[in-house]
Amino acid sequence: MHAPRRYRNTGDLPAVIPVFPLTGALLLPKTRLPLNIFEPRYLAMIDAALSGLDVRFMMTGWPDKKIAYNAAESYFHDLAAAGVKVYRYKRGFFHAKTMTIDGQVAVIGTMNFDIRSLALHKELMAWFYDSELALEHEKVFLADMEECELITLEEIDSWSAGRRLRNSSARLASNLL
């Protein structure tokens, strides 16, 4: 049985949170409103949720690469246990990597945070400090949430041992996917 991890609130977030320091640091500004994320920023999401922020993560429900999807699923327990709301998009495939922050910033791009993508691909993230664009993007995110299912900690804990083994095995190769 998968033993639940216990998290504690570590207090307020610093002005910026360095994430993945070995791969070029994603900086997540301090935020008060919901943080909507389409692609995993695992450690930043956990830290933000533990600090009391409303963090919502949406992932495709129709994967193009099953092993990468299984590896991603292996992170769901920790995210949900920390208070991140994990959603699975049911309507079709999407490959978005976006964030909205405080209705002021929209982050849109192609970057994956893994060794293979950072070393081999020419990917980027554009940060738009434009409240109109951020609010428009927020509306798209909220509309897409209507096509999602919430993945609860109870659901994750009910996954079979075989599914958890498959996901954990895929996670071992996640830096190469």
Distance CA 93, CA 145 (A): 14
- Is residue 6 in a domain? no
Q: Of 9-18, 39-48, 67-76, 110-119, which range is least confident?
A: 9-18
The CATH number given to whatever domain includes residue 37 is 3.30.870.10
Task: List, for residues 151-174, the tens digit of each pLDDT value.
Answer: 999 999 999 999 999 999 998 887
- Is residue 3 in a domain? no
- Is residue 56 in a domain? yes
Distance CA 149, CA 87 (A): 5
Neighbours of 120 (CB within 10 A): 8
Q: Which residues pair with 85 in a beta bridge?
A: 56
CA atoms within 13 A on the CB side of 153: 14
Q: Of 33-47, 56-70, 91-105, which range is least confident?
A: 33-47
Tally of domains in the chain = 1
Q: Give the length of the chain.
A: 177
- Is residue 40 in a domain? yes
- Total-model pTM: 0.70
Domain span holding position 62: 32-176
